[in-house]
């Protein structure tokens, strides 16, 4: 079986364009779906080359769904490859798409890459990804490019938007006061957030409140020193548990 890198390097079909370093990252996360029945959705079809690459990589059992604003892309529909035409920044279109689509295992946003497009798509289609599925967005560097609505530390960029996910997965540990800001569906449904140069991958999983446990026997009559005070571990634990209530 060829690796994604080999498939990409040997590709001689319809035009395909990915930054070279994306290939190994995709292989790392997507290889578990090869030759299985599953649903892959890519926003952004262009010349249809990536649809060909994914088909070769995933095999005939995969349902591959492409979405693009360009109506000409409809011609790439064949067999188990379905095409939907519409704009990823149009909430009505995305909601309609949602009602037509099955839940997807993997969603890859390689569409127009503006901040509005990436954020709107995430807000509406994140729920369309199955538990244990992956939500991926590529070309995050547009978050630093003015023409796409980005800019370094610009509050409305997709990068700044997605950085808040880091706070959300820690929502379990928020103080009472911060909980409403930190605890949300991302806390309960995302196991991991992986940032690479220009790629974000979210691993969905039904999360449970984290449990802390202890193994073995205490060896000291105190556990650690904090602010010059020797603290009993058990005492510290009780304080921590109280904070959680």
Ligand X SMILES: C[S@@+](CC[C@H](N)C(=O)[O-])C[C@H]1O[C@@H](n2cnc3c(N)ncnc32)[C@H](O)[C@@H]1O
CA distance readout (Å), 21 to 11, 25, 36: 16, 7, 25
Residue 88 as a binder of ligand X (CB under 6 A): the answer is: yes
> Which residue of the chain is nearest ligand X when measured via CB?
112
Q: Dmax of the chain from CA atoms?
A: 73
Least distance between ligand X and beta carbon 18 (Å): 5
C-alpha dist (Å) from residue 60 to 39, 64, 106, 119, 174 = 12, 10, 16, 32, 45
Instruction: Name the minimum Å distance from CB 59 to ligand X.
Output: 19
Q: Determine, following the binding rule CB under 6 A, whether residue 112 of this chain makes contact with ligand X.
A: yes
Backbone angles phi, psi at 86, to 5 degrees: 165, 175
Q: Does 44 interact with ligand X (rule: CB under 6 A)?
A: yes
Select from 39, 41, 50, 157 the one that contacts ligand X (CB under 6 A). 50
| C-alpha span between 165 and 201 (Å, rounded) | 12
Task: List the one residue out of 4, 23, 9, 18 whose CA is nearest residue 47.
Answer: 18
Under rule CB under 6 A, residue 116 binds ligand X: no
Task: Mark the segment that binds ligand X (CB under 6 A) among 83-91, 98-106, 125-133, 203-211.
Answer: 83-91
**Which region, judged by CB under 6 A, interacts with ligand X, from 19-27, 44-52, 170-178, 189-197?**
44-52
Block residue for tokens 């209530």:
245
Q: Is 5 in the site for ligand X (CB under 6 A)?
A: no
Among 4, 46, 136, 200, binds ligand X (CB under 6 A): 46
Binders of ligand X: how many residues, by CB under 6 A? 21
The only residue of 23, 68, 135, 168 in contact with ligand X, by rule CB under 6 A: 68
Q: How far is the CB of 241 from ligand X (least distance, A)?
A: 48
- Provide the β-strand partners of residue 43: 67, 109
Binding flag, residue 49, ligand X (CB under 6 A): yes
Q: How far apart are CA 75 and CA 80, in angstroms?
A: 13
Q: Are 183 and 172 in contact (CB under 8 A)?
A: yes
* Binding interface with ligand X (CB under 6 A): 16-18, 42-46, 49-50, 67-70, 87-89, 110-112, 117
């Amino acid at each position: 079986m060829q690796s994604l890198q080999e498939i990409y390097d040997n590709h001689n079909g319809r035009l395909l364009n990915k930054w070279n370093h994306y290939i190994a990252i995709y292989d790392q996360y997507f290889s578990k779906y090869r030759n299985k029945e599953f649903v892959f959705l890519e926003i952004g079809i262009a010349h249809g080359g990536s649809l060909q690459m994914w088909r070769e990589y995933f095999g005939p059992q995969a349902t591959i769904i492409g979405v693009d604003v360009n109506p000409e892309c409809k011609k790439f529909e064949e067999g188990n490859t379905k095409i939907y035409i519409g704009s990823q920044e149009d909430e009505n279109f995305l909601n309609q798409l949602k009602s037509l689509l099955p839940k997807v295992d993997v969603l890859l946003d390689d569409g127009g890459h503006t901040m509005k497009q990436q954020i709107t798509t995430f807000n509406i289609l994140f729920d369309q990804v199955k538990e244990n599925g992956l939500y991926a967005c590529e070309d995050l560097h547009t978050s630093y490019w003015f023409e796409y609505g980005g800019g370094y530390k610009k509050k409305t960029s997709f990068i700044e938007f997605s950085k808040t996910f880091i706070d959300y997965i820690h929502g379990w540990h928020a103080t009472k006061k911060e909980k409403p800001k930190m605890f949300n569906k991302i806390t309960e449904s995302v196991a991991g957030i992986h940032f690479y140069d220009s790629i974000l991958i979210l691993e969905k999983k039904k999360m449970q409140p984290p449990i802390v446990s202890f193994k073995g026997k205490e060896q000291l009559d105190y556990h650690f020193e904090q602010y010059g005070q020797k603290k009993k571990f058990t005492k510290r634990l009780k304080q921590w548990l109280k904070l959680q209530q």
